[in-house]
A and B are shown apart, each in its own frame.
Chain A
């Protein structure tokens, strides 16, 4: 879907800059004109660029954006597989995460610079897509951190009360045992290959 407000604002900005280009001679001659030039050629374009960048960063967190690269489409399909063990599918199908930002919700770190790191990793993905080539097997850059799971589950009753979790709560918090030790299937790519999908009724 086109970002109509962004497009309109940028088009208006370009129109204003064009007007100021032709009127620069007359405007530069008096104080009010110089103020108009200051706003139109400096403040407004910078503000528009900041707003556009902010919009772009927001858009880049969306599922649709992640799946716009063909390399990620099988991972996108894995959200729909018929499996209660596959973490991605389970979280997506049960709306445990916002479907519009499902990739980002689970794959960004929740530490102070988590967002920045996620965006920088996104740049690496684009670099791989266009320059170095995408590896045959897509893997995480580092082991999946428990903190990403615990960000939501840590004080959830269903998590704390689960008998299997109780003996290892400390180890999970410390990161000495990975959540994926037991919950081994993150994306069920085998079911993607066999087209074993769940259909919402």
Chain B
């Protein structure tokens, strides 16, 4: 589970990093990069985290 959570952290953190870099230089292009790459990466990181927790709970018979 820890490895999967770390993977989720890397993906989500990358999304935040993309958004941070875009915010350092707001232009139409960087705004779009932030919206179509940064935000989906954060969402993907969140989903990976949920999947890791869900799988862990299922393996333990909690769900």
A residues adjacent to B (C-beta < 8 A): 2-3, 6-7, 10-11, 13-14, 17-18, 20-21, 24-25, 28, 34, 37-38, 41-42, 45-46, 48-49, 52-53, 55-56, 59-60, 65, 68-69, 122-123, 125-126, 129-130
Closest residue of B by beta carbon distance from A12: B16
Contact sample, A vs B, 15 pairs, CB 8 Å cutoff: A2-B24, A3-B26, A7-B20, A10-B20, A17-B9, A20-B5, A21-B13, A37-B49, A48-B42, A49-B16, A49-B39, A56-B34, A65-B28, A68-B28, A122-B28
Interface residues of B in 4-28 (CB under 8 A from A): 5-6, 8-10, 12-13, 15-17, 19-20, 22-24, 26-28
Work out how many contacts link A and B, with CB atoms closer than 8 A.
106
A21 shortest CB reach to chain B, Å? 4
Interface contacts beyond A28-B2, A55-B23: sample of 20 additional A-B pairs, CB < 8 Å, sorted by A: A2-B23, A3-B26, A14-B13, A17-B13, A24-B2, A41-B8, A41-B9, A41-B12, A42-B50, A49-B39, A49-B43, A52-B23, A52-B34, A53-B34, A60-B31, A65-B26, A69-B28, A126-B28, A126-B32, A129-B29
**Residues of B with Cβ closer than 8 Å to A?**
1-2, 5-6, 8-10, 12-13, 15-17, 19-20, 22-24, 26-29, 31-32, 34-35, 38-39, 42-43, 45-46, 49-50, 53
Q: Compute how far the CA of A69 lies from the CA of B45 in the bound complex, rounded to whole angstroms.
A: 33
With A3-B26, A21-B13, A41-B8 as given contacts, are A46 and B34 in contact (CB-CB < 8 Å)?
Answer: no
